[in-house]
Structure 1
Amino acid sequence: MPGNKKKKSGAARKKQAAGASATAPAAADEPIVIPDDEMESSSDAENGADQLDLPAQAEIIKERGNDQFRKSQYDSAIESYSKAISMNPNEPSYLTNRAASYMALKKFGLALADCQTAASLQSANPVPKTLLRLARCHLALGDTPACLAALRDLPDSTPGIQDVRRRAEGLELHLQRFKDAKEKNEWGAARLALEQAVESVEGDVPVQWRCWRVECEVARGSWAGAQNAVSDALRLAPNSSEVLTLRGLILFLTNQIPKAIQHAQQALRLDPDCTPARQLLRRIKEVERIKEEGNTFFKAGRLGEAVERYGEALEAIGEAQSEGGGGPLRAVLLSNRATAQFKLKQLEPALEDTNASLALNPDSYKALRTRARIHLELEHFEDAVRDFKAAQESAEGDGTAMGEVRSIAEEVKKAEVLLKRSKTKDYYKILNIARDCADSEIKKAYRRESLIHHPDKGGDEEKFKILTEAYTVLSDPQRRRRYDMGVDEDGESAGGGADPMMGMQMNLAEMLAQMQGGRGGFGGFSGGGFGGGGFPGGGGGFGGGHTHGMAMATAPLTSLNPLSSETRSVSPGPSKYRGAVVEDLQLPPAFALSRSENVAKAIQLAYDRDFSYIPVLDSRRKPVGYINVADLKTKWEAGSANPSDLLSNYMTKFARGTGVKYTVITPETPLEELEAFLETTDFAIVTDWNRKFVLGVATKDDLSNFVTRRGA
């Protein structure tokens, strides 16, 4: 009968426990097992637990938890340890064992609390294993000062201490790099350092770090990224006044005023002493009040007062880099002020405001349209056509009302006509009259100008002939209407009868305009980052699944060296490219850096735009090599590349020498030739035939994307 069984001796139980320990699998975080000579076995506990006091029962239940831990039954082990703790709360080994189970489940916050309680119970005689486990919990939660403080009380011979110390010091380095970059407003580098710090911790990312991530996204003007980051932070800390204030700031800067006010007020309800939330709420209300006053003045036709109010609102918003330069809200107010200035014929200030607005929000069709109208008034016809077309495309893309889209399309046609007229004879300008003048004014103007230019009056005969030609066309209502529509006397419209090469010439003109600060790009297509990357995921780059960054400068290439010196043969037979040339790849311009730039600059820009390779120029802006960004990042993370190092120390140089033969890739190069060239190299630099400009960079992926887009 169970009641007649004899208890095992203390020595026998010791021997049994030792045998179990010898056969159990080793684990870095296996619970601390403290043998107890008076401890009952599990079978004894089941049959005679009522004969034992609580501490003895707790030891038996702890052993059950140890067995469950060894079998990776961590939830069951936690239940057993918790029961043992309730029976004997002053036994530290129960707490450290439960902490090990929590750590196995990545619940480092709960594990930390148990380790801290155990360390307090052992304060008179600290146990190294407890302190090491405490340090690991601090490290997993990103608290490096607390981690290193716990390690200071341990001898260097403690097993595992060197690994924990090395990881803590590495995390400290990432955080210091983040703080240094943030202080210098190098937000791309700051974001990279923070991302590396996040990858170094095993537990939940601290709320403070999540707030830093939000700040990085805001400073970089990545508003979708900022919204995602602050939502992540709110899920972890829904009642944090700091996180709510940050979200309110993002909503404010993205012109979502009512929601911004709600978040600031909610932060103050949670923490009435939250100064940032109080300041934000006051700022939001002030900007909204002044902005509405400006809108009221604008609608009433009081344009001067509207300009003044918009200026006051812009001052209240500011343009701090840490706030993304003022964000979409500032872009809207700049656009509004530019519209008022345009109506007041203050063209230069209006142009400055639209440029600033589009720098913050490049896809605003209203700002694009306003800038196009300004260009039209300034007779910058090519710029006007380009901006009107961009405005039309943007309006179509964001679901703008069709009536608005059609209105912009009409303005595109008008600008195209004026562009064509600017390249020939402008009859209105010849007669010094407005384009919307009445027929009677045309006659008056002809008489007035005839008195000046008629040969009998001492005028120039050639000028008089042109004057008469202008009057002949404009005085005939039908011919004037055709002229205004851009139809030539021979019947060709503004878009007809063009040189078949005109399309490429215009695209190159747009590319050069962008290099000088305008819009557009190689092939007339807009640029972007080098794809992917960042917090939380990455990828892409030129050389692999990419779009390219904006051109930085043009450069005479008297010594551009190729990546190969041989001309490749093109396979005969039908081609999948069907006669297409490099221009058809729609390559945006390449981005380049000076060899005298430092590594920190390259890391920041590469991360901001997610490049894989960056061409490097010398002081005369000649290409001398390129940077492999992946390799540079590896060296940066390993600490072998310092922020102040010259970029030239890490670049791959192009071949040089008088015997080097060039393979010139231009926009007119057939894609078959480009494919042959790329058989032995990763990318090709696209130039004009005389190699005076770097136009773009082409890769095998560009060819693949072209075939996919067009269809085989």
Structure 2
Amino acid sequence: MRLAVRPVVLLFQVLLSRAVSSEDDIGSKIARGDHLLSTGQYQQAAEVYSSVIEYSPNQYIFYSKRATAYFSLGQHAMALNDFNRVLTLTAQSFTLAYIMKAQIHTKDGHFLKARGSLQHFIDIPRAESKHDIRVSQLLADISQGEILAKNIALQREYQLWDACLKSTEAALKISSHSIAFREARAECSIAAGDFSGAVTDLIHLTQFLPPSSSLHTRIFQIGFFFLSPSSADIYVLRQCLRFDPESKSCLSLFRLARDINNGFTRLEKLLYDEDWNGVIELLTGNEIYGGLMQEFDDAVDNHIHSGQTSSLDHDSPIAFSSLPSPRNISPRRQLLVRSLCRAYTNTNSWKMAHQWCVTLLAMDGCADDVDGLRGRDTRQQKEWDQIVGGRHPDYEVYSSRVDFDPYSTSQSPGWAPGQGATSYHEILGIDQNADYATIRKAFRNAALKAHPDKGGSESRMAAVNEAYEVLSQRNLRARFDWDDTEHHEYPNMAPYDGFLYAQARGGGVF
């Protein structure tokens, strides 16, 4: 009989020890979860509380703590589920849950739901509930958010984009997780020309919305065609293909971006080597390949000017047709146009240089572009040289003018008369033997200081531009060097002193 009782006692002791160790383990987990929550390690805290809830599924306090961790992580849907569970387990008596739900709904921009949760808290028969400072603050935020939502709707309707940006900025301070406000600001940013801000808001939307091919392609298209080159463009498409490997739109754009980026890599090398003929061949192509410029422009036409309206898979779509043409905005296209301008200028193809340099000067922010001005004015100066030499078709027209002087610099279309070569060098802060690279670098530094927006003046900026235009062109620089050296250094000499043949009546040497 004693032998039969002993195994039962042993089994009871084993079970008891396991229960004690299990309780010790749960206690340590609770302590660890509390520590993680108090130190801001919300993801780890949520995981620890989840394991505790598996052991004690009816303890509301653990749901409340996990909900707090989720709320801090921005996982509002999961936080709401836990707070609803808390109210169920406590028979609606845990009133703090109503305040937390109202805060979550306000952050999400769901003001009607926020008012409902707050009203539940106010209706509780306790004197302090109506005078809680959190209630008054939430009510003020909800009212302000509702007013801003109405203003934003009107501003979008009447296309008041700057006002819309201000309103959405204020609204997102109240409702940082609002999809509607975030999308509205993206639309207003696009219309106002702030493409970087639009991309930032659309990337935020990827955190709040389910995975969407249309959203990722939208981000890529704006970033690729309207912003400076960045590895983030390809990363967005990789993210798209990660959750949907069969996405045709993301796959086709990925291949397009890869091909165009490879072309830009080749262009960068050709520019570094100053292989101007290679640059022209790469950008303009041949009978088989239309060139990188044509490839980029075709991509713009196919993906920006399709005229189709696409949505973000929810109620308020942003139409691609509302995007402006990136032809005059795109930094990538600006690089292509500048490369053609420089290449044709350096190969003395003046007609093509003039065409592409004028195109460059017409692009956004390029009115004073150094390469564009040089290419445009060099062609004009070449034509003037031909007129002076009698080789231009309009020579008879010019030479018949009473005031025509073939040695005058003021009549040249590309001439910028100034103060002489010495003062031009002084304006740029270089010596008279400076090479083109030094002149170009000095011009940029001088332009930064002389620009009216940087503390300079229009006259100083004009002087810097004039100095660069003359010193960067060999023929103009040579004329001014001669003029300043011969005439200014020897003011009492005849123009051809030192050359005997020029003094002889017959033009001979003797």
Q: TM-score, normalised by structure 2?
A: 0.47
Q: Which has the higher contact order (CA 8 A, sep 6+)?
A: 1
